[in-house]
Amino acid sequence: MDRDRYRTAIGRLPAGVGVVSLHLRGIDLASTVSAVASVSLDPALLLFCVHSDARVREALDEQDAWVLSVLADHQGPVADWLASPGRPAFDQLARVPHARDTTSGAAVVGESAAWFSCRTHAIHPAGDHDIVVGEVLDLGEGEPTAGGLVHHRGRLRAVAPRSGT
């Protein structure tokens, strides 16, 4: 399989963009993710995929509590920053408004469209990524008028709700 052709073809599938964060040994770690899905309603489970050598993935071996913040339509700069290679290991969230989730201790990105406080249910190796399945322990929603952010054809795109919805 040609990796570049696969990347181009799968890029036609719009994917919701979020930030996974966790708090380990007094340090906030966060990463942009675009492979997120609901798995089950009963129990409430969701998943995200993360590169197997990412800092967040390594931290999940020690910390099973984390937050998935679903980014709103205006939060492209947040997604870009937390996806940028070479960003500092410490104070990653210094330039990102956030609040502390009382259930997990992780950061909830400010103004996000929704957030889910989770505990790791399972981690499955899958090629160069791992699939992390989390049990939802708590959740919240942002502004009712907030849209979403999707990754499509290699770019972040805002998806705003229609008027009156």
What's the pLDDT score for residue 87?
Answer: 83
Domain boundaries, the chain: 16-143
Average per-residue pLDDT in the chain? 93
Does residue 165 carry a pLDDT above 80? no
Q: How confident is the model at residue 98 (pLDDT cuts 50, 70, 90)?
A: very high
Could you report the per-residue pLDDT of 19-59, keeping only the tens digit for each? 999 999 999 999 999 989 999 999 999 999 999 998 999 99
What is the third-level CATH fold of 16-143? Answer: Pnp Oxidase; Chain A (2.30.110)
**Percentages (nearest 5) of helix, strand, coil residues in the chain:** 15, 45, 40
- The stretch 69-75 carries a mean pLDDT of 96
Could you report the per-residue pLDDT of 11-20, keeping only the tens digit for each? 998 999 999 9
Supply 4's token pair. Answer: 């570049």
DSSP letter string, 23-71 = EETTEEEEEEE--EEEEEETTEEEEEEEETTSHHHHHTTT--EEEEEEP
Strand order in the sheet with 155-159: 15-16, 148-152, 155-159
What's the pLDDT score for residue 163?
Answer: 66
- The stretch 120-135 carries a mean pLDDT of 97
